[in-house]
Structure 1
Amino acid sequence: MEAVKFKVCVSAAIVVAVCVIAPMIGLSASPIDEKEGVMVDFGYYNVKWVEMELGDGVNGVQALEQACSIAGYAVVKDVYGNVSSIDGEANLVSSSWDMYIVTGPEDNRSWTKVDDPQTFDVGSQKLISWARTSSVDKMMPSVDSTGHTYYSYASNGKNLYGADLRIVTMAPSVTETLVAVGALDLIVATDKYSNYPATLGERYESGRISYVGGYTDPNYELIVSASPDIVFLDGSVGEHISMADKLRKSGINTVVLYEVVEVSDLLKNIWIAASAIGMSEKGNEYNKQLASTIDSICAVTDIQHCKAFISLSTSDSPYVAGDGTYADTILKSIGVTNVFSNISSWGMVDREAIYIKQPDAIIIIYEGEEITSDREYENVLRGLNSMWKDTPAFENKKVFIFSGKSADLLSRPGARLGATAELIAKVLDPDSFTKADYWDRCPKYFGDDYQQYLRYQGAEGVLLT
């Protein structure tokens, strides 16, 4: 989403050194010894990874029983030997416990159901999953967005040699996702736009973290020079997918997270990131708290018949969030109708279209200076086009501005979803929140101090805000 690109200049000596060394990495790197194990997928993004050997002569049910013995789960079978319950979670009418294996070419793997786990020998497999699900699409993916596995790179934040991981992240949302699962101290380089949490700035200044390119122009030589164990990229950016292929050919472990359109995409990314660094339980913990936060917000909110849109600016022809965007999903999750759901992704609309839609509320991701006072807020409103003003949103004082650090919440499809949903719900439905807590009130604009208005983010220290 960042429009500004930059070119990193490095000394000729570094360029020569990297160009000489980089092509050799793919030839000298040791092959990855893929871990073996069982994923127990309870659904609703609650997954247990059990690392264990999948030996010859062991069938799928026996492998599950071994994994559950390690995890401390009870397995219940029916009279035919079929699995009916794991850790007290029984089969449901619409979803039952079944076994899945990874199939397909190396760059396009996916889960495939095993018809008879009792006769299937798991010795030829590296990974199997037992999942209680109604469809493969609802399972935790076995691969990243480019079809490559992600579970063999680390153990509890350590690389295969026992040293702390060296992680590179190449998008702000990706950086935040890794921080969410406990990897802040493992990040050695990022893109130039990653600025959350604030401690990243201190680490840049001290030289502990370096920049290795922009959001849409990752720099191969600089990434390689950071000596990463794993590079995390954003699957919604074409340049990232190309870079992933280049890095893999050079022997560098790479994980490409999925484009976040639905909340489910974000939850999957969180677990994939956590599992890739060998800390899957951190992913489970974060997802559980995030889901609880969203449920708490929705339980308070009572939005009915509200039409709104989210704009990237106050220009006469702004880019707005359409169908298939993270922002659109947030609106829908709290019961709001996005008036521009008829367009795909982020699209430009003219002022006449805004007038025709007659929105009840307008949310602006403000590209100017941080709004810190009522006077500055009113100045922005006065500068709006007359057709913006001739809408119920303007007439009923339902125009809301996210500026400064709060603007990043709406433009980054990352781990701060809970904070984003809470603030949007509060400005669109203030009465429900003040009814629950009289003092829970928000202004019509947010800046760097937005965190003081958050009250539904669960246990302190779990969710990023």
Structure 2
Amino acid sequence: MEGTLWKTVLTVALLLTGCAVGVAAVPHSSASYAAGIILDFGGYDIDYMGLEDSGENAVSALDSICAGKGYEVVYSEGSSVPSSVNSLPASGSSASWSLFVTYTGDTGWTRWSGDPADVSVGDFAAVCWGLCGEGEYPTPGVDATGTCYYGYGQCMRIVSMSPSCTETIAAAGAEGLIVATDSYSNYPVSVTEGKKNGSISEIGGYTNPSFETVAAQNPDLVIGMGDQSVHLSIIGKMRTQGVNCLAVYDASTVEEIEVNTYMIGVACGYEMHSVQTIGQIQDALDELASLVSAGSTDSGVMVALSSAKSPWVAGGSTYVSDVIARAACSNVYSSLRGWVQVNSETVAEYNPKCIIVVSSDYECSESGYSKMLSSLSAEWRSTDAYADGNIYLLTDGATDLASRPSTRIAQFEELMCRILQPAIFTDIEIPHWIGDDYTDYLTYTAELGFAS
């Protein structure tokens, strides 16, 4: 989920009605969608090589990429599936090499059960040799539209159509290549400064970007959300004009945020930087998990996008629900899917022990917090969270932090851990209202805002 209530309501309307975008002048960019082979060792240790012959089979393509990288390939007698590539898997590992393909029009991997020599690389959206354990799959090789994002080369002019994409582009190291964003992108601060000095243009809102304005930027890479119909429409039109585009996935877990980070880094030509960013996020999350595992208390949590009587809340299959689980607590609405508006009666029925309101409707102050509390319905007031004083307001900058599935996810996780597990994180007292000052309450992830 990208923003707060305005985004959710507008998104529903767009999905129901669709959105038509006009035709603009042809940009002067060109795209390259040559067939290629992916070699995935796991943990975002991935190689890619474009192929001159799209009809090359998967075994020959493997030999080609390994020859180019200087990797030794070992095949068992009579098999065209490698037993070892670059001395991996290590002795005792349960992982093994398999061939995976993504069929045209699909987005997921299928493990190839036949002879890899029968696979012509150009016949599929993506082809990958992956070192995986049973039930595991490589990092996705295509974006949310089923288009392979490898082989774009170094871009120079990026248009971002969503705040989370803008943040992730910056975290991948390509911040200086952004020439335009949606009107809601305001992080890192250099983006806001760029809009003020005219070096970064605005293309419209998150749910209504202008195709004409996007095209007028003469971009060589356009990045948007795969769950937004208007973004997909613009991406489709820009691709017909020869412009590289990337539609990221609707991240419902921390892992999917990491995948989006990797995809954006690859598409921008900043793969190594994006992998470093992912590593920093994973290290911080592991440290927080280690702390939470010792003496945590499970509490039922509700995260709402307003203090309305019948609020929109985070259900299951949302990154917020994943963050709650990582803090060793339970999302009381986990049985629902996605972001949903719930009846007020369920607030009382589910009786959360902690409520977190993510909204910029109130100022970050004691009076703003008191105003929010005074607006609560009888159903909210009947909860243990209200009785025990465990209702928190995330406003201003903290609203953006909580409502964007981006590379600041580790900071959001620490903030949630401190709110939900105060007995473990005793070094800082957390107030009931947090805004632009949210970094004042972070220690483990204070430097993981990825703002230069």
Q: Check whether TM > 0.5.
A: yes
- How far apart, in 2, do the equivalents of 1:264 and 1:446 lie? 26
Structure 1 residue 230: Cα displacement: 1.1
What amino acid is aligned across from residue 343 of structure 1 in structure 2? L
Show the counterpart of 1:133: 132
Show the counterpart of 2:419: 427
- How far apart, in 1, do the equivalents of 2:209 and 2:136 lie? 31
Q: Is the 8 A contact 1:370 1:448 kept in 2?
A: no
Show the counterpart of 1:380: 372
Q: What is the root-mean-square deviation in Å for CA atoms of aligned residues?
A: 3.2
TM-score computed with the length of structure 1 as normaliser = 0.83
Q: Does 1:405 align with 2:397?
A: yes
- How far apart, in 1, do the equivalents of 2:275 and 2:123 lie? 25
What amino acid is aligned across from residue 98 of structure 2 in structure 1? D
Show the counterpart of 1:456: 444
Instruction: Flag the 1:464–1:20 CA change in 2: closer, same or farther, 3 A.
Output: closer
Instruction: Flag the 1:78–1:51 CA change in 2: closer, same or farther, 3 A.
Output: same
SS at match of 1:98: strand
Show the counterpart of 1:265: 256
Instruction: Flag the 1:350–1:134 CA change in 2: closer, same or farther, 3 A.
Output: same
Structure 1 residue 407: Cα displacement: 0.7
Q: Is the 8 A contact 1:173 1:413 kept in 2?
A: yes
Instruction: Flag the 1:138–1:380 CA change in 2: closer, same or farther, 3 A.
Output: same
What amino acid is aligned across from residue 443 of structure 1 in structure 2? P
Show the counterpart of 1:309: 302
Q: Is the 8 A contact 1:212 1:219 kept in 2?
A: yes
Structure 1 residue 319: Cα displacement: 1.1
- How far apart, in 1, do the equivalents of 2:121 and 2:128 lie? 14
* Matched residues, number: 433
Structure 1 residue 53: Cα displacement: 4.3
Q: Is the 8 A contact 1:361 1:393 kept in 2?
A: yes
- Aligned equivalent of 2:160, options 169, 173, 179: 169
- How far apart, in 1, do the equivalents of 2:239 and 2:223 lie? 12
SS at match of 1:140: coil
Q: Is the 8 A contact 1:54 1:122 kept in 2?
A: no
Show the counterpart of 2:152: 153
Structure 1 residue 404: Cα displacement: 0.9
- State percent identity of aligned pairs: 30
The 5 A counterparts of 1:283-302 are 283-302=274-293
What amino acid is aligned across from residue 291 of structure 1 in structure 2? Q
- How far apart, in 1, do the equivalents of 2:259 and 2:112 lie? 23
Q: Is the 8 A contact 2:59 2:116 kept in 1?
A: yes
What amino acid is aligned across from residue 392 of structure 1 in structure 2? D
> Per-residue displacement from partner, 1:4-54 (whole Å, max 9, x unpaired)?
799xxxxxxxxxxx98862x55xx875x4435544222234x132243546
Show the counterpart of 2:241: 250
What amino acid is aligned across from residue 451 of structure 1 in structure 2? T
- How far apart, in 2, do the equivalents of 1:198 and 1:94 lie? 45
- How far apart, in 2, do the equivalents of 1:309 and 1:353 lie? 11
- How far apart, in 2, do the equivalents of 1:461 and 1:399 lie? 26
SS at match of 1:430: coil
Structure 1 residue 397: Cα displacement: 2.0
Show the counterpart of 2:16: none
Structure 1 residue 73: Cα displacement: 4.9
> Per-residue displacement from partner, 1:232-282 (whole Å, max 9, x unpaired)?
010121221222222223333221111111222211111111111122222
Q: Does 1:339 align with 2:325?
A: no
Identify unmatched segments of 5+ residues in structure 1.
7-17, 159-164
The 5 A counterparts of 1:359-374 are 359-372=352-365, 374=366
Which of the pair has the greater relative contact order for Cα pairs under 8 Å at 6+ separation? 2
Show the counterpart of 1:13: none
